[in-house]
A and B are shown apart, each in its own frame.
Chain A
Amino acid sequence: MSVAATGAAGRLPPRMGGRSPGLFLKTRLPTILALVLAVMTIALAPVTPAQSQTTRIQRVVSPGGIEAWLVHDTTLPLVAMEVAFIGGAAQDPADKPGIASLMASLLDEGAGDLDARTFQDRMAEKAIELRFDASRDMVSGSLRTLSENTAPAFELMRLAVTAPRFDDEAVERIRQGQLAGLRRRMNDPSTLASLGWSATAFPNHPYGRPVAGTLESVPTISRADLAGFATRTLARDNLKIAVVGDIDAAALGPALDQMFGALPAKAQLTPVPDVVPQGLGTTVVKELDVPQTSVIFGGIGLMRDDPDFIPAFVLNHMLGGSAFSSRLFKEVREKRGLAYSVYSHLAPLDHAALILGGTATKNDRTAESIELIRAEYLKLLTDGPSAEELEDAKSYLIGSFALRFDSSAKVASQLLQIQIDNLGIDYIDRRNALVAAVTLDDIRRVAARLREDPALLFSLVGKPTGITPTAIPGAQGG
């Protein structure tokens, strides 16, 4: 869980991404962490509160035909908006990873008539928070403003997505920030373990490349690369919008046209092939002189639109999704004290179905930890859970769904993810019934599917003893 500003140590780690990036703005998430974060969102999406949510969600279609989902709530004088342009870092050319990420960081660094300084001043003067981020499959934007400032906030959003300037000064400055972030993480064990996993699992595929780029690629990105990427990937047909707070449908409709109406009608996305992770059953090791080995593991999971996704989601909860009662938590941490953090989650990317997980354990017990993880995964797939274990998991997943909806920002994120996953505006009302309906037979069926290829790829960074690597990390080496 997150931590007081004093750096308090918690009973459980934040599930993913570790600590805050530090004191700097414009820091970027490490590559696969970005992947992993995106993925957590997906995993958390299928959840929501009791009855009345759907009735509160309005589908707003602007006069110009732009759609947004809105929850109108006047309790607080603020508006939260989340947007996503499908595409993301998977659209980066093979020889220049990092374009999507750098572009996203530059959208609020000068647009239209406003240079970077003026743009940032406009935000600061009204305490408008606007930021963009790239992940594997999308570029997302997040806006938060006091409702009295929606007009200037929407104008800044319009400028950012329709008229980014990519001035030389800003490009160079943000590039330097991105490079500093890459250098800061270049020997970070968990970052390297993630990068090593991706590079090994997806050679010659966009998912194998670092979202934030590399120390070699980022310096080569030109203004033309950035502007071209924006023109091709920021469009109306790949845009999803969610709005929550003190604004009604009548006001939002025209505002949507104002913000997004000038975008091209269609994005020009390069098709990304579906892909199956490679290297399953192998262990890659990158030696680093640290006392603890960071471990990322993963294998074949299920796509989000797979009819068995929900049973698989419940299955993963029992494996490594549950904070205090998952099998991995009990075996690796509670019984043996091998690690502080151990987890797994389903990671349905747009073009790859994954189950991913991680841990960190001292070098001389790494072999034991990864053997346990492998064994527990196979055991759950082979023997299945007990009826009681399944009921407990379902009970948690059903009961906890309301917790995803207790702030404007969280509601907006959920509404956006449901649109991205194409689950329907009534999904929130249907979702708990879907979980409740999962039977032991469903779990056995999905376990049998996962058992068809249950091999896991392990990526290790540290000085683990007693491990024979079966391969070396991918050519990009992180």
Chain B
Amino acid sequence: MSAVMLIAASLASNTPARAADVAEFTLDNGMQVVVVPDHRAPVVTHMVWYRVGSADEQAGKSGIAHFLEHLMFKGTEKHPVGEFSQVVGKLGGQENAFTSQDYTAYFQRVAKEHLGRVMEFEADRMTGLVLTDEVVLPERDVVLEERRMRTDNDPAAQLSEASQAAMFVNHPYGHPIIGWEDEIRDLNREDALAFYKRFYTPNNAILVVAGDVEPDEVKKLADATYGKVERRAETAPRERPQEPTPRAERRLVLADPRVGQPSLSRAYLVPSYRMDKPDSVALDVLAQVLGGGSTGRLYRTLVVDKGLAANAGAWYQSTALDATRFGVSVSPRPAVTMEALETALDEAIGTLAKDGPDAGELERAKTRLVAEAIYAQDNQATLARIYGAALTTGSTAEDVKIWPDMVKQVTAEQVRDVARRYLVPARAVTSELRQVAPQPTNPQPASQPEKRS
């Protein structure tokens, strides 16, 4: 999965012919537009991205960005609740939305002739949202169920949430996108509308259209729809409290009777692509060298050669406005202690930081990353996401285009150097998911067989 994450997290693109096709322009009201033509099928992916995410929430209101994303489906003055979705459905379209730390995005995928129609609706809800408690309160329960499903039902997810909170001691990346449970419970209609009025305005939004359409056509439709929406707020620079230089290694343990397979994961504080392009691209290569599937250094060392781990991987979240995370994770085989596995993990990382990757590893990593940029072009929705995520995290379309060339230029020394500087204990949060024997409420062994998998 690290490959998938890399592709989503980093950026794609170019065989030269197609990169040249990407068009960018700005509407009079400040809304940015990116068009990615792909004429292989008569469909388009239409997305509107807002430069606002969970890291832009005020203290005490965690989860409001995501809650508002849900509420954006509750209708406007012009189009009452359900109408937009009903129309998209009748047109044979698919729709959804998602929220991250740095952005919130809404999309529809439709036959190309319906592009103008969904643009009208999406432009309307940029400023026309109407909310009543009748729709807000059940939706808050839906979000609480979403939180239970994603996090509260799963000890590994709870540990991951705690790890993020431990990593970011000053930056709002420390709170979960979905919000802390107690704060979600207190969110209300007024909170949602205040957040909406502050951040949902054309000058804070990016339109991304990928698929069977030409830039001229998108320009015409955008002028007639989004172009008519008035700015209603000025956007302030996105300056969040930054992380201080970390000084102390942090360790977390979560022990739970539900844990069947122990694991150890570690995240390091590292720069994002926006903050430091050369370092970031070297970290992309490092993640691939360490965690690139069955040929990655961690898998080869810990799983194949030493037989200590059942699994091992690495990942890097390059797409972020501010300082971000590089992670490694391992699961021990049954007879192996976590201490022994962690020692071997430290050795593997230490060796790489000392000697760098060998020529074969470096070449494989770069080949894979560049190929993934080409594979990404096979999917218009993937491309739209890559551009939207880049532009809402302080990068440009040009940055997306040059990424494969930057990968090709990464040297073994650069990879060694970023490993040496960033994969150090003081920058790390190490999280251990541990098994504990269940507390028998009923000491009779009769219930035991059910615990088996």
Contact = CB atoms under 8 A, between A and B. Distances in A.
Given A292-B149, A401-B92, A78 B450 contact: no
A9 B99 contact: yes
A336 B42 CA distance: 38
Interface in B16-31: none
Given A21-B1, A184-B331, A188-B154, A6 B371 contact: no
B371 to A, nearest CB: 3
A396 B146 CA distance: 26
Given A23-B313, A399-B111, A216 B96 contact: no
A387 to B, nearest CB: 14
A252 interface: no
Contacts of A340: 142-143, 145-146, 149
B240 to A, nearest CB: 15
A82 B8 CA distance: 23
B247 interface: no
A11 B69 contact: yes
Contacts of A216: 452
Interface in B31-45: 38-43
A5 B368 contact: no
Interface string B308-322: 001111110101100
A80 B377 CA distance: 13
A397 interface: yes
Contact of A23 (B53, B329, B449): B329
A11 B73 contact: yes
A179 B262 CA distance: 12
B452 A478 contact: yes
Nearest to B9: A5
B383 to A, nearest CB: 10
A83 interface: no
A120 B295 contact: yes
Interface string B434-453: 00000000000000011111
A228 interface: no
Interface string A147-186: 0000000000000000000000100010011011111111
Nearest to B303: A173
B227 interface: no
Nearest to A50: B42
B140 A4 contact: no
A183 B261 contact: yes
B340 interface: no
A443 to B, nearest CB: 18
B129 to A, nearest CB: 14
Interface residues of B, number: 114
A10 B4 CA distance: 18
A183 B452 CA distance: 9
A441 interface: no
A19 B5 CA distance: 12
Given A6-B317, A337-B138, A399-B91, A78 B148 contact: no
Contacts of A210: 453
Given A7-B177, A23-B327, A127-B371, A407 B98 contact: no
B92 A78 contact: no
A126 B90 CA distance: 44
Interface stretch (B197-205, B252-260, B421-429): B252-260
B98 A5 contact: no
Given A324-B95, A477-B449, A27 B148 contact: no
B304 A173 contact: yes
A223 interface: no
A474 to B, nearest CB: 10
Contacts of A478: 450, 452-453
**Which of A333, A340, A397, A409 is packed against the most chain B CB atoms within 10 Å?**
A340
Given A26-B294, A49-B42, A360-B145, A9 B260 contact: no
Contact of B450 (A123, A398, A477): A477
Interface in A71-100: 73, 75-78, 80
Given A400-B93, A478-B450, 14 more contacts: A5-B8, A7-B160, A8-B99, A9-B99, A11-B69, A20-B4, A23-B291, A116-B294, A120-B295, A183-B261, A292-B148, A339-B142, A339-B145, A406-B40
Interface of A: 1, 3-13, 19-27, 49-50, 73, 75-78, 80, 109, 116-117, 120-121, 123-127, 129, 144, 146, 169, 173, 176-177, 179-189, 210, 214-216, 286, 288-292, 294, 322-325, 333-341, 360-362, 392, 395-403, 405-410, 473, 477-478
